Structure 1
Amino acid sequence: MLSFFTRFFSNDLAIDLGTANTLIYVNGKGIVLDEPSVVSMQRDPMGSGKNITLAVGAEAKKMLGRTPGTIEAVRPMKDGVIADLNVTERMLKEFIRKVNNNRFISTPRVVICVPCGSTQVERRAIRDSAYSAGASDVFLIEEPMAAALGAGLPVASPTGSMVVDIGGGTTEVGIISLSGVVHSQSVRVGGDAFDEAIVHYVRRNYGMMIGESTAEEIKKQIGSAFPGMEVTEMEVKGRNLAEGVPRSFIITSNEVLEALADPISQIVQAVRSTLEKTPPELGADIAERGLVLTGGGALLKGFDRLLAEETGLPVTIAEDPLTCVARGAGVALNEIGKLNSIFIMNP
């Protein structure tokens, strides 16, 4: 009776705990939270060594690069895994509180996504952070499987499906068949690496310092992965390193293409490597059906064309690729009993 009462007055959650953003799916409601994975904290003025949480999510991201010495804006996730356990727990607790509209509601079951290349220790840290945030039961699912579910691929069928999920911290490449990940590869390159590459390019070629939010805007507006597309340009403001004062300059899409060449080539190599290790029977399925792109990186102009040219396969961008992993985790949440085999055993 108590179990039924708890389940009735609870929100089962599916969480895409990403390096750049955290998305939360609630049973029956869909995605109810999509916020940056950022926490701003202030050092305790009494010198206790404890930090006071000031803001989480979108409000905290506004503070990145703009805080005084006593306030720090932190990204607790790095390369798809937890870099700061304590801060991650604070962030999850706050996000769950927002989802529950400040009401006390127990959260008995949580499905949470992990990179396929994460270690047992990293997976245990993610599981522990979810328990500390209020979950009483935690299920882990690999991101390629969640992405495939979110993209509507037939994961339970004996045919092979291929998904490439380009997130903020990692790119996950997976071959899916019979409710399992047959082969996968995780490279710690994603949207954040794109931004860093643009920052370094601007510093090296223009002698200018720009912040990560500016680099992200450049990527979104004129970034591309495929040569020969229409050349566009953008005016950018930054700090001239020689003079130490703000200056403006013009950067073109061809320059951004050059800046992104290295991280993009790492992703292409991961896709090729995965294809080379795919069993022949599944390889034939993938040659016919192609691969599906998910994650924020799928929105980089020309990435689908580049992968199609490099692999010779049909490439499709999933519908709403940014939310694919979270929605797929939601599918798993709704079918916990039927899809039990897709979850990772306790680390």
Structure 2
Amino acid sequence: MAADKIAIDFGSAQTKIYKLGYGMVLSEPTLAAVTAGEKSSVRAVGKEAKKLVGKTAEKTKIVSPVSGGEIVSDKVAVSILDEFLKKIEYKSGFGGGKALVSVPCGADGNFLKRYEAVLADAGIATADFVYAPILAAIGQDLTLTEFSPYFIIDMGAGATDIAAVSMEGVIAGVSVSAGLNKVDSALIDFIAEEYGLQIGILTAEKLKIQIGSLMENDTLSAVINGRDLTTGKPRSISLSSKNIRKVLCDFYDTVADIALKVLAKLPPEVSAEIRHAGIYLSGGGAKIYGLEEYYLKKFGMPVNVAANPDMCVAFGGGIALGNPDMLKKIKIKND
């Protein structure tokens, strides 16, 4: 029995799996509902676990095994991956199965060994690892060669990868634990301080998606519900994009500042090529309204936002799966 060929983007917030010959077969939250105690167990994963956020009893916690791009709970990671592989009816074949897996910039030998152990416990015997910004570039249909560098900013939930890449690999890059999860936390703190209202993480996420905008005069608005911090009673307030814009700007300014530092370290020839082609944005963070115009002012060069930014890395993995020569060039040599 032949094994399926899959590409996995195991993110802090969302896991995507691409199966060669089928396309994108899974996109679910990287979450598990875990019962605390000596004999802890996983009650639910993915979409079912997210439904329980903010609604569980004290003994059950909703957790993600990935933080800042790194696996922080092997046991939970294995449980989630095992369940996801069952959902897509993954066939490991006689050799135990193989996958292409995206990893953040700077992932070292120890990082990869931990991933290998988790994958093995989930039923995947061997894996090829590729840096996420390279896959993000491929997923945007950019033609990678040794002579055509591209500058990628891939903004995920737990981490942001910023790198100049070519077919030879990462020319210069960094992975930082500045992701969209920090925006959600910052919104919770901001609304508590400014409006005396305590909201949950799902409300913050929904608010960001519905009215989050970097445009100064955006008129989007939404009503949110929460708990009054003074009376303890339920209360609703109406917020506009302008009300929360500073929280968003703080995050995107931080990412831009780091990106400018990476750009400043590039060789002159690479810098010239990138200035002509511009910056390419991917990841869930690239979906915010007004980002293209906002970053055009920040960087002073073309800004290209992917059509399906949160799927770029997984799509890139799928393309690489179908091109063995390309995969041989871009995979991390972990000798």
TM-score (norm 2): 0.95
For residues 192 and 71 of structure 2, the distance between their equivalents in structure 1, rounded to whole angstroms, comes to 29
Q: Give the secondary structure class of the aligned counterpart of 1:339.
A: helix
Deviation per CA, 1:270-328: give whole Å up to 9, x if none.
21111111111111111111111111110011112111111111111112111100011
Match of 1:67 in 2: 56
Please say which of residues 152-161 and 73-82 is displaced more in the overlay.
Answer: 152-161
Give identity over the alignment, percent.
32
8 Å CA contact 1:198–1:259 kept in 2: the answer is: yes
Query: 2:258 maps to what in 1?
Result: 270
Task: Map Cα deviations across residues 250-269 of structure 1 (whole Å, 9 max, x no partner).
Answer: 12211211122322211011
2:272 matches 1:284: yes
Say whether the 8 Å CA contact 2:109–2:334 is kept in structure 1. no
Superposed displacement of residue 159, structure 1 = 1.7
Choose the corresponding residue for 1:40, options 29, 33, 47.
33
Corresponding residue to 1:12 among 5, 8, 13: 5
State the Cα RMSD in Å: 1.7
Letter in 1 for 2:66: M
2:76 partner amino acid: V
- Report the equivalent of 1:331: 319
1:87 and 2:82 aligned: no
Provide, for residues 321-345 of structure 1, a one-character-per-residue CA deviation record: whole Å limited to 9, x for no partner.
1110001111222223443121112
Equivalent position of 2:218 in the other structure: 230
The separation in 1 between residues aligned to 2:165 and 2:298, in whole angstroms, is 21
Residue 71 of structure 1 and its aligned partner are, at CA, apart by 1.9
Residue among 147, 150, 169 paired with 1:180: 169
- 8 Å CA contact 1:225–1:264 kept in 2: the answer is no
Runs of 4+ residues deviating >4 angstroms? 103-107
Following the alignment from structure 1 to structure 2, what is the Cα–Cα distance between the partners of residues 207 and 118? 41
Between 1:319-328 and 1:67-76, the stretch displaced more is 67-76
Q: Distance in 1 between matches of 2:181 and 2:34?
A: 22
Q: For residues 118 and 262 of structure 1, do their structure 2 counterparts lie closer, same or farther at Cα, with a shift above 3 Å needed? A: farther
Q: Give the counterpart letter for 2:20 in structure 1.
A: N
Matched positions, count: 334
Q: Identify the match of residue 30 of structure 1 among 4, 8, 23.
A: 23
Structure 2, unpaired ranges of 5+: none
> Which secondary structure does the structure 2 equivalent of 1:95 belong to?
helix
Aligned to 1:246: 234
Cα deviation per residue 1:3-40 (whole Å; 9 max; x = unaligned)?
xx4xx2x2111000000000000011111000000011
Distance (Å, rounded) in 1 between the aligned partners of 2:121 and 2:145: 33
Q: d(CA) in 1 for partners of 2:55 and 2:113?
A: 33
Within 2, Cα distance between the matches of 1:325 and 1:104? Answer: 23
CA change 1:160–1:104 in 2 (3 A) is closer
Return the letter of the residue paired with 2:35. Q
Q: Secondary structure at the match of 1:138?
A: strand
Letter in 1 for 2:16: L
Aligned partners of 1:284, 1:170: CA distance in 2, in Å? 27
Q: Equivalents in 1 of 2:253, 2:106: separation in Å? A: 19
Trace 1:10-159 onto structure 2 (pairs within 5 A).
Answer: 10-43=3-36, 49-100=38-89, 108-159=97-148
Aligned with 1:305 (options 293, 313, 316): 293
C-alpha spacing 1:312/1:342, structure 2 compared with 1 (3 Å): same
Deviation readout 1:139-176 (Å, 9 max, x if unpaired): 11111011011011122241221111111111111111
